[in-house]
Structure 1
Amino acid sequence: MQLSNSRSPEAPASTRRRRATAALDPRHTLLISCFDAALPFGRMGLAADGVPCAQVRSPAHLVAPWKDNAESENASLLLSLSMRETHDVVICGHVRCAALEVLLDGERDRQAFRLLSQVPAARATIDLVRHNYVGLHRDALREVTAQENVLTQLDHLLTYPLLAQGGGPRVHAWLYDERDTSLWAYSFEESQFAHQISLR
């Protein structure tokens, strides 16, 4: 699978910072993923002795941006980060995502689209894709939407004080493609999903 160079020049500036890559220890890793993603944890290196890493799941792996006065929106993620020592946080999207299908076809799932579009974390992806990828259709649009959503939620994740400051957990952005069971890692240096992760 060839992943396109993400984010057009018109896309908003990112708060992403470069993070060194390293092998992950499932006992110290938090995975943020979609509620309907069937991820092969063992093959991804995210399970130890059959026990997967800590997980936070939501439709389209949405992450509420940090707000000091809205701690309830951030409580689940903050609790997960504080429950045990976390060295790495992985935000992993997937191409065949039911929630993203709703975002791509608001007419088909009008009620679900109305609900999702009221969530700021989802609305950011909707606005970005509609503004920058007008000419794309079908699989190309589905693929770029999955990429952009991972990066949008990554930007939200990096607004959290624990992750925004130096010395905190490393942050990784991955995209899993169920069509060919491939896993791709975002390169902060190359600004695209450039590295395929070998599944065990």
Structure 2
Amino acid sequence: MQKLVDGIHEFQRNYFSQDQKLFETLTEGQKPLALFITCSDSRINPNYLTQTKPGELFIQRTAGNIVPPYGTVHGGEAATIEYAVSALKVKDIIICGHSHCGAMSGLLDPALIEKMPAVKSYLEHAESTRRIVDENYTHIQEADRRLILTVQENVLVQIKNLKTHPSVAAAVGRGELKLHGWVYKFETGEVFNFHPDEGQFLPIQAEDIVLSDLELDRTLPPI
């Protein structure tokens, strides 16, 4: 805890003054560039990763970057998504998974979360991910490869869930919202973006890749 308190004092002393005008303008409201949905894992920092400043990202964090289908959970996830799209008018939503994800490990090995009923219940929103990996990738047994494959497939499953949210479906239909699937490999700093045409997550490029039609003929691995 002391490290956190010391950090606050350092922020106020050395950093706030450098961006004081920015922080003052934030009192007028927010116009974030995107909604960034990612895992609660402490090893991923969306602002650090994208080099964005306060006010530029609207962030939602859940275990396993899970987006429950609309209507299945009456909680903060749906409210956050709806507010970002309907009130803040974000133009892009990114769902970003990451390497070595504990939630995805628990999905593959339920024994890891047997004594965590809330986690186990929440991961039911990734049941399609588990079935896809179990039934379609029996030829891949090496643990690390199965885990990163699960992370990839889960990003695609959660984007499908995201599209069940009425505000998202309507904005996508109007051409006002783009959806993106990313995977962050924190041990190398690489970010992979899903390319529908290739059916793969490939190193992110400068051009904007839109993840629109999710009907793919399953290519996936590497990363």
Give the TM-score taking structure 2 as reference length.
0.66
Asked if 1:184 is matched to 2:192, the reply is: yes
Residues 192 and 204, structure 2, Cα contact 8 Å, conserved in 1: yes
**Cα distance in 1, alignment partners of residues 79 and 47 from structure 2:** 28
Q: How far is the alpha carbon of 1:43 from its aligned partner? A: 5.7
Inter-CA distance 52–39: structure 2 relative to 1 (3 Å threshold): farther
Bigger drift between 90-99 and 186-195 goes to 186-195
Bigger strand share = 1
Q: Which structure would you say has the larger Rg?
A: 2
Map of 2:155 onto structure 1:
150
**Cα distance in 2, alignment partners of residues 191 and 166 from structure 1:** 25
Residues 64 and 101, structure 2, Cα contact 8 Å, conserved in 1: yes
Map of 2:181 onto structure 1:
173
1:18-40 per-position Cα deviation (integer Å, ceiling 9, x unaligned): xxxxxxxx822110000015335
Select 2:74's aligned residue among 68, 72, 75.
72
Residues 107 and 123, structure 2, Cα contact 8 Å, conserved in 1: no
Code of the aligned partner of 1:145: T
Map of 1:5 onto structure 2:
none
Inter-CA distance 189–166: structure 2 relative to 1 (3 Å threshold): farther
**Cα distance in 1, alignment partners of residues 82 and 188 from structure 2:** 34
**Cα distance in 1, alignment partners of residues 122 and 52 from structure 2:** 34
Residues 194 and 202, structure 2, Cα contact 8 Å, conserved in 1: yes
**Cα distance in 2, alignment partners of residues 185 and 37 from structure 1:** 21
Percent of aligned pairs with the same amino acid: 26
Q: How far is the alpha carbon of 1:163 from its aligned partner? A: 2.6
Name stretches of at least 5 consecutive residues in structure 2 with no aligned partner: 1-30, 207-223
Code of the aligned partner of 2:115: Q
Residues 36 and 46, structure 2, Cα contact 8 Å, conserved in 1: no
Asked if 1:109 is matched to 2:113, the reply is: yes
**Cα distance in 2, alignment partners of residues 72 and 47 from structure 1:** 30
1:141-192 per-position Cα deviation (integer Å, ceiling 9, x unaligned): 0110110111110111122233332323111110001221210000122221
Residues 60 and 97, structure 1, Cα contact 8 Å, conserved in 2: yes
Q: How far is the alpha carbon of 1:129 from its aligned partner? A: 1.5
Inter-CA distance 98–161: structure 2 relative to 1 (3 Å threshold): same
Bigger drift between 108-117 and 162-171 goes to 108-117
Name stretches of at least 5 consecutive residues in structure 1 with no aligned partner: 1-25
Code of the aligned partner of 1:72: H
User: What is the alpha-carbon root mean square deviation over aligned residues?
Assistant: 2.6
**Cα distance in 1, alignment partners of residues 122 and 41 from structure 2:** 20
Residues 177 and 183, structure 1, Cα contact 8 Å, conserved in 2: yes
Q: How many residues align?
A: 170
